[in-house]
Structures are given as structure tokens and as C-alpha cells.
Amino acid sequence: MRERSQTRVGRSEEVSVAVVSGSLSRLAGGLFNSVRQSALALHSLGCRISVLGTADVHTAKDIGAWAPIRPLAAKPASPLALGYAPALGDALRNGDFNLVHQHGIWKAMSAQVSAWRKRTGGPVMISPRGMLDPWAMKNSAWKKRVAGFLYENSNLASSACLHALSYSEADSMRAFGLNNPIAIIPNGVIIPADVHGPGALRPPWLPTDGRRVLLFLGRIHPKKGVLELVDAWAKLKREAPEIAASWRLVIAGWDDGGHEPRLRAALARHDLERDVLLPGPLFDDEKDATLRHADAFILPSHSEGLPMSVLEAWAYRLPVLMTEACNLPEGFASGAAIKVDLAADRLSLDVASALAKPDLRSRGEKGRRLVEDRFTWGKIAQQHLATYQWMLDGGDPPGHVTQS
């Protein structure tokens, strides 16, 4: 068993972390950006970072975004739904790490991380990334019960520290029955420059008819509330036609699990094909151009850890409409966000009221100040590093760590 250091780690280069994630590509959705940027920020502080994950259809295209880190993309075995990649376990067995940080749960990688912990005695941090929230737990509940019995419950309970993106997510961990220390550290965002300058060219799929753009950018999945949003837009068109005529809804993202046909059927049923655009997944320059040409952002989600898309919208100075389930109460407190309710008789009214507000643009400026103050990757990496050092050497925990 590997011996634990008895002295306080004082230099970041003494921290060697294996970052384990189910996917290393855009297939992971927001986790692709959040896990990658966190790893890169820690690397820039001098930490020795090794990234381990499983390969998928987008890995070859996206692997370069991790540079200068060179991740291991392990080939998954069948059935793919298990997420089992033998080479990932081999890398954990043969690697020289003094700490493992696992992102995401309910996959076979949890068993592999647990095996590393049992063999070495080294500390593990687990970031469930919203996967213990009540709504998420109800999704495929029986599969999670099986995975929990086989490996996940033990893996979670034995981790040296859990990582929550918000106080609400920490509450979900306690409700699940976990008594581990919890580090409450948010996601971060890269701050773009000159958002209101010349910027990028207008996306070719976006008409130039003068209508303002309300943007949804994320996975096409029931969790995100997109079907409720389409129904609300249809109601808004009937009951507030002057607002519907001056705004266009854009629902951009990739189809996670085959839900897009149902979304398109809803648009056809409400005769909204000209009012609501579905440009598909957006990345890199096209994503940047879309954010620059949007006028407001919406995330009517049922459940989130801490959504990267909202932080990005604020970074582009966009006012945000979101549910309380997005777990960013500071957005409401600062005036950067407007609360919307997913109830069938409320969402259209909330959206109509928000889009009619005269101070809409100033709310986007408040969002920009909020992310500059609290959500930059440099600040967040320092918090993770302080947590790693405490996990390795003990002593008093950092102020952002809550004990049971």
C-alpha cells in the first residue's frame, strides 16, 4: 500500500492527480468544458495532471482541445452503456498518482477508481456533477439501484471528499445518506473579450429580419425543459403576440437519447417552425457567433449541478432566464437572472414578462460582473488545489469544505 505523506504539501508540483471522466469529448455536454478547463487550470498551477477517460465517436476530433495535457482515451468494451474500458483500469494500476478525482458516477469507472483506492490507500475525490439530485435519481432509477448495490454506494461513501458545485447539490448528497466532507466549488468560465465589438459573423442559419434572439444552448433532453419551453412559446404567441413577433426562440444542442423527433413534432403541432429554430449542436466559432448574436438566454431545467451554459451566457453579457433548479441563486440575488417556473400555467407568463423588461440588457452586464468576480478558472483551480493538499496531508480543511 502506498504510504501517505506525513507533511503538509506546500508546492503544487507535489500534487499528482488522475482526473477520471466518462467522456473526453463533446459527448459529455457541459462536463467536456468544465472538467477540461479545471484540469488545464490546475496544470497551469504546476500540478501533475493525468486525464483518463473512454473513447467515443467524437474523441478524435476533440482530443486536441486538452493540449498541452495528453489524455488517455481508453476503448470501451461492450455493452457500451456500462462505460467499461479495461485500459482505464490498467492506467490507474500502473500510474504514479497520489490522488484520484472522479467526475461523474453510475458507470464502471467507479468500480475501477474504487479498486485503485483499496489497493493504494490513496485519497479519492468524487464530483457527482448533479447525478445525485432528486430529478436525476428518478431517471433510470432501477439501473442506479443495481449500480449502487454493486459498486457505487461503497465508492461514494469511501471517498475522502465529495465535490459539490453548489450548496443545493451538497444538500442532495446529504439526503442520499453521505457523511463525507464536501468541498463546495463552482464551475468556471472563460471570459471572452469585446463581446459587443465587431465580433464574429452572423450564423448563416439565423435570419436577418430584426427579431431578437432568446437562446437555449444545451442537450436536447427532457431534463432541460425544452418541451415545456416549446409549449410555453406557443402560449406566448397566442397571448402576447407583440412579444412573439419581435423575438425568435433558438434551441441549439445535440440530441441526447433520441428526444429531438418529439421536439420537432411539438413545433409542428403548434405551427412554430418559423418561430423556433433548431440549428443543432454548436461548437467553437459557431457557438461564439451565436452567443454574440443572442439577446437573452434561457435554461428552464428540471435539475442541474451548476450549468456551464448559464455562466457562458453571463460571460457574453446576456441576461438569463432560468429555474431555481439551476442552482445559481447568486444570479437572482445580483439581478443577473430572472426566475421562471416550469409549471404549465406559469412559464409563458414568466417568459413574456422577462422579455418585456426595459432593463434586460443591464442584467446581462450584472452577469458579466458576477462571473468575473466568482467564476474564473484561476480562482477555482486554487480552491481545488487547496482541497487536494488537505486530502493528502490533513490538518484544518479549507473554508469551502464542509464536514458532516
**Which helix (H) or strand (E) is 230 found in, with range?**
helix 226-239
Cis peptide upstream of residue 300 (ω within 30 degrees of 0): no
Rounded-to-integer distance, Cα 222 and Cα 322, Å: 15
Rounded-to-integer distance, Cα 63 and Cα 40, Å: 13
Enumerate domains of the chain plus CATH numbers. Answer: 12-188+376-402 (3.40.50.2000), 212-374 (3.40.50.2000)
Residue 141: the pLDDT is: 86
**Which helix (H) or strand (E) is 102 found in, with range?**
strand 99-103
Instruction: Give the three-state DSSP class for 307.
Output: coil
Residues 367, 319 contacting (CB under 8 angstroms): yes
Residue 171: the pLDDT is: 94
Give the mean pLDDT per block of 10 residues along the chain (404 residues): 36 81 89 94 95 94 96 91 91 95 95 96 95 85 88 95 94 95 95 72 92 96 96 96 96 93 97 96 92 97 91 97 95 98 91 95 96 95 97 95 89
Residue 198: the pLDDT is: 59
Rounded-to-integer distance, Cα 261 and Cα 280, Å: 12
DSSP state of 75: P
Question: Crossing angle, helix 109-120 and helix 86-94, to 10 degrees?
Answer: 20
Report yes or no on whether pTM surpasses 0.85: no
